């Protein structure tokens, strides 16, 4: 017969069962008190082993739960790291977008067709660059005519404007951007105040 690995509780149960069988078959009546004491000792040992096994099982469950939480936390951190891995690179490219915006904004309305063609080319380059960055989660922060939000906007000045509500963004000095939902650069804005 193959011997399988048995737990301490199973070994004690087997020992108790064997003792009871031996007692029933071979022991004379006079040895009963001693045999009874051995049975009680074995029962106590079984109970102690069961308690110890229960403690180990509870500990195992706690360790397994902690490990699952650890795996989830590491997975979340890795996902976050992957999501924002390009943040530094994108932040370094933003000034190039600003420069392209300045070129486009400074083309006069009455410019020659050649200058307008160049402006259209610059606008195309700007759009292509922004679309490439948008694939990695870059978004412009909408600011113009929106309520001032210090989490999204940085006020560089305040102007009096009776046509706009108080604390409304009247103009954008420099565009702001988010990477997914994280603000990587607040928009620099001019805020309107009445009177």
Query: For residue 33, what pLDDT band results from cuts at 50, 70 and 90?
Result: low
Give the pLDDT mean for 15-21: 73
CA distance 137 to 31: 84
pLDDT band at 1 (very low <50, low <70, confident <90, very high): very low
End-to-end CA distance of the chain: give it in Å, rounded.
99
Q: What is the pLDDT of residue 34?
A: 64
- Residue 180: closest CA among 135, 128, 127: 135
pLDDT of residue 25: 61
Q: How far apart are CA 162 and CA 160, in angstroms?
A: 7
Per-residue confidence at 164, pLDDT binned at 50, 70, 90? confident
- pLDDT at 109 (0 to 100): 87
Q: What is the C-alpha separation between 119 and 107, in angstroms, rounded?
A: 7
Please count the CA atoms within 13 angstroms of the CA of 192 that sit on its side-chain side: 17
For 178, the 3-state DSSP assignment is strand
Q: Kindly give, in sequence order, each residue whose CB lies less than 8 Å from that of residue 96, ignoring residues fewer than 6 positions away.
A: 129
Residue 164 DSSP code: S
Phi-psi domain of 179 (left: phi exceeds 0; alpha: psi -120 through 50; beta: other): beta
Cα separation, 158 vs 190, in Å, equals 6
Instruction: Provide the pLDDT confidence category of residue 12 given band limits of 50, 70 and 90.
Output: confident
pLDDT tens profile 104-146: 999 988 889 999 999 999 999 999 999 999 999 999 999 999 9
Contact 166/193 with Cβ under 8 angstroms? yes
The better pLDDT of the pair 21, 164 is held by 164
**pLDDT digit string (tens) for 36-94?**
788 788 888 888 888 999 999 999 999 999 999 999 999 999 988 887 788 889 999 99
CA distance linking residue 20 with residue 6, whole number of Å: 20
pTM of the predicted model over 0.85: no
How far apart are alpha carbons 190 and 168 in whole angstroms? Answer: 9
């Amino acid at each position: 017969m193959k011997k399988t690995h048995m737990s301490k509780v199973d070994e004690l149960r087997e020992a108790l069962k064997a003792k009871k069988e031996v007692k029933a078959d071979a022991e004379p009546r006079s040895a009963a008190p001693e045999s009874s004491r051995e049975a009680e000792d074995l029962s106590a040992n079984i109970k102690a082993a069961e308690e110890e096994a229960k403690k180990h099982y509870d500990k195992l469950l706690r360790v397994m739960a902690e490990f699952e939480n650890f795996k989830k936390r590491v997975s979340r951190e890795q996902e976050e790291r992957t999501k924002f891995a390009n943040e530094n690179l994108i932040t370094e490219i933003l000034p190039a977008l600003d420069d392209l915006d300045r070129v486009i904004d400074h083309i006069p309305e009455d410019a020659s067709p050649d200058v307008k063609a160049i402006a259209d080319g610059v606008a195309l380059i700007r759009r292509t660059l922004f679309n490439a960055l948008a694939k990695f989660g870059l978004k412009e922060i909408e600011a113009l005519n929106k309520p001032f939000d210090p989490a999204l906007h940085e006020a560089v000045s305040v102007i009096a404007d009776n046509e706009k509500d108080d604390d409304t963004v009247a103009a954008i000095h420099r565009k702001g951007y988010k990477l997914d939902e994280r603000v990587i650069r607040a928009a620099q804005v001019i805020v309107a105040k009445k009177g």
